[in-house]
Amino acid sequence: MTKLDAIMAEIEQEIGRAVAKFPAWPTDIIHAGNVVSEEAGELAKAILQVVYEPHKSTLTDVREEAVQTAAMCIRFLVSMDRYELITSDQHLQGDIDA
């Protein structure tokens, strides 16, 4: 088994765990993308902590967050043909002075 095979197996295992815990996935592409963004944010936080606050994070934590982010990216991609592209209502912010 190559290093890539091992990583892909780990990501596949994480997808299974995530789907078992959260079987539903957003149909709205913005909400689905934000699931991915949230995981990427946790990865960024773990990386910053392992560098600047090493008592709060380890490389093992970074790896776990990277695997979780990859798993959510794959869940996002799997649903590409099912997303609804719905625009949101918008309002003017005339009371903000620039």
Can you tell me whether residue 89 is helix, strand or coil?
Answer: coil
pTM of the model: 0.90
More confident residue, 67 or 98: 67
In sequence order, which residues have a C-beta less than 8 Å from that of residue 58 and are 6 or more positions away? Answer: 50
Q: Cα 43–47–76 angle (5° rounding)?
A: 15
Place of tokens 């719905």: 86
Per-domain residue ranges for the chain? 28-80
CB burial of 54-89 (b: ≥16 within 10 Å; e: otherwise) equals eeebeeebbebbbbbbbbbebbbeeeeeebeeeeee
pLDDT in tens, 20-75: 999 999 999 999 999 999 999 999 999 999 999 999 999 999 999 999 999 999 99
